[in-house]
Structure 1
C-alpha cells in the first residue's frame, strides 16, 4: 500500500522563531485527511534555518497534536554529527517516530564520512532514521552501494529519494531493491515526478503539496492504490501548472505564497530567503484560482 507523507511549512518570523499556533493549524487538516505520516522540519519546513530550541518547541507541539494518530517524521539534519545526534535525541525524547537525516555539509563529504555520520546518529540517538537524499541542497548524491551499506545499519529504516524522470524510475527502484534488505521503505520526493514513481511501485510519496492540500494529494495516492494509473496521471496532469511554478521558483517559495494567499497561514520564509516578488506571486494566485484545490 502506498503511503503519503505530508510536509508542511514551519510558520515563523524572519529570524526562525516558530509560531506554534499557526503550525498547529496546519497540522490539523493533515490528520483529518488521514495522511500516512507528517514530515515536520523537512526542507519545506526550513529546518536548516531554525535553531535547536525552536525545533524542539515545534516537535513538542506537533507530538501533542498528532501523537497516536499520525506518525511523525522529523528533520534532524545538521552540519556536525554531534549536533545531529542531539537533534535526534530531542526528537525521540519528544515522541517523534522517525528522524529524517540529510548529509548537510559545507566541505563536500565522502561516502565513508556520510556512512559514519548516519551510523553515529542512529546508534547514539536510538531514533529510527530515514535517509534523506537531496543532492539539490546537500550536493551529495547517495550511490546504491552506500544506500545498501546504510540499509544494514541498525535503526536506518527508509530512504527519501528524489524521484527520477519517468523513464528512469523503474530501473531506479529495481536497483535499490537489489541492495536493500527486505522491508526497507523506498520513497520519493519531488512532487512533479513522484506519481510515476508511485505507479512503478514506490512505497511513499514525500509531498510538499500534501502539506497544504492533503485532500488533492490523497486522491492521487488512492488512485494509485486502486490500480487506476490513468486516473492518477489525470490528477497529476491537472497539477502541472503548480509543478511548473515549483520548478521555476522552488517549491518552498511557492508553498509559502500559497499559504499566505489563501489566508491559511500568514508567514514568510526565514531570511535570507525572501517572499516571491509580486509578479510571481500573482502567477501563483492565478494558478490557485484555476486549480481550486480547497
Structure 2
C-alpha cells in the first residue's frame, strides 16, 4: 500500500466547519483517477486544526467516496493519549493505514519520540507510516532514530522530507536510510518539487500535495519513474516549475495549493481554518497567472 502515488487532498473549511460536499468531491476525483492511495488528515488536510469529531467526519466522508482505493489517515496530536484515541477512530472507520508525526509543544527527545511510536504501534491492527516533517513539527529525526522506529512491527513506511535535487546526493541520502531500515519498510518522498528526483533514486512512494488536486499530472510523473523512464519524470516535473516557484516564494505548498483550488473553483473561499489564509493581493494574482499558464 505504501507505494506509488499517495494523494493528499485539502480539507476545505471555514469557521462554521468542514465543507463536506467539496471534500467528498475531491476524494471522489482521486478515486476516479486511480491513485494508489488517498492520504487524508495530513498537513494538507489541516489535521492539527480539527477537533476529534471533525476528524471523524472527514474519515467517514473519505471512506464513503474513496471506493476501493486505500485510505491512509493522519493521527498526529500533541499527546500520546490523544493519538491512541484518534488511532482507534481511524481503525473503526476502516482505513488501510495511518500516518503519524511527532507533533509537540515542548521539544521532544529521541527517546520520547521512540516511546510515542512504540506505544501507538502496540495499539494498531493496521500499518503505520512515520511522518518526518521538521518544517511543521520542529522535530528532526536522526537516521539512527529512523532505524530504531522502523524495527517496530507496525511501521511499514517513512515519509521523508525533500531530498537534494542533485541526483547523486539524493541517491546517497536514500542509500544511507535504506541501510538502517528493514527491506519491507518503504521510503516515500514528500515535497513535490523533489518528487521526481526522489522516485528516480529509489523512493517507492510519493506522498503528494500536487496529487491531491491534480492526480493525473502526479500519476504521470510517478508512473514514468516507476517504469524507469527517469528523463520523462524529470521533464514532467520541470513543466511544473512555475508552481514549484510559488511553493518556494510563499513558504510551502499548503497556502499555494489551497489558493489554486479556490481559483479553479474546486473549493469555496475561504478554504483554510483561521488563522491560516490563502494568498491575497499580488500573490493571488501570481497564482492566477500560473494556473492560466499551466492549463
Q: Fold conserved (TM > 0.5)?
A: yes
- Please give the alpha-carbon distance, in whole angstroms, between the structure 2 residues aligned to 1:203 and 1:230: 17
Deviation at 1:233, TM superposition (A): 1.0
Deviations 1:223-251 (A, max 9, x none): 11222111111111110110110122121
Superposition pairs of residues 162-241 of structure 1, within 5 angstroms: 162-167=161-166, 168-241=169-242
CA spacing shift, 1:161–1:70, aligned 2, 3 Å: same
Cα distance in 2, alignment partners of residues 172 and 14 from structure 1? 42
Taking a change above 3 Å as real, the CA distance of residues 127 and 258 of structure 1, as seen in their structure-2 partners, is same
1:140-172, Cα deviation, whole Å (9 max, x unpaired): 111111111111112111110012212321111
Residues 1:40 and 2:40 are matched in the alignment: yes
User: Structure 2 CA distance, aligned partners of 1:274 and 1:80?
Assistant: 27
> How many pairs were matched up?
290
Whether the 8 Å CA contact 2:30–2:66 is kept in 1: the answer is no
* Off by >4 Å, runs of 4+ in structure 1: none
Moved more, 243-252 or 99-108: 243-252
After TM superposition, the structure 1 stretch with the greater mean CA deviation from structure 2, 223-232 or 131-140, is 223-232
Structure 2: unaligned runs, 5 residues or longer: none
Please tell me whether the aligned partners of residues 5 and 35 of structure 2 are also in contact (alpha carbons under 8 angstroms): yes
Alignment partner, residue 156 of structure 2: 157
Aligned counterpart, 1:101:
100
- Aligned to 2:78, the other structure's residue is in SS state coil
Q: Please, what TM-score do these two structures have when normalized by structure 1? A: 0.96
Indicate the residue corresponding to 1:138 in structure 2.
137
Distance 1:90 1:2, change over 3 A: closer
User: What residue number does 1:14 align with?
Assistant: 15
- The C-alpha deviation readout for 1:83-141, integer Å capped at 9, x for no partner, is 01101110000001111100001111000000010111111243421100000111111
- Alignment pair present for 1:282 and 2:285: yes
SS of the residue corresponding to residue 166 of structure 1 reads: coil
- Is the Cα–Cα contact under 8 Å of residues 97 and 128 in structure 1 kept in the other structure? yes
Check whether the contact 1:2–1:225 (CA below 8 A) recurs between aligned residues: no
Q: Quick check: 171-180 or 110-119, which moved more?
A: 171-180
Q: State yes or no: 1:53 paired with 2:56.
A: no
- Tell me, which stretches of 5 or more residues in structure 1 are unaligned? none
C-alpha root-mean-square deviation of aligned residues, in Å?
1.3
Secondary structure at 1:179's aligned position in 2?
coil
Specify the SS of the correspondent of 2:18: coil
Contact 1:223 1:231 in 2 (8 A): yes
Partners of 1:247 and 1:43 in 2: CA distance? 17
Report how far residue 2 of structure 1 moved.
Answer: 5.6
Q: Residue 86 of structure 1 contacts residue 125 of structure 1 at CA under 8 Å; is this kept in 2?
A: no
Of 233-242 and 258-267, deviating more is 258-267
* Contact 2:3 2:188 (C-alpha < 8 Å) held by counterparts: no
1:63: which partner in 2?
A: 63
Tell me, what secondary structure is at the counterpart of 1:266?
A: coil
Supply the distance in 2 between the matched residues of 1:129 and 1:226 (Cα, whole angstroms): 26
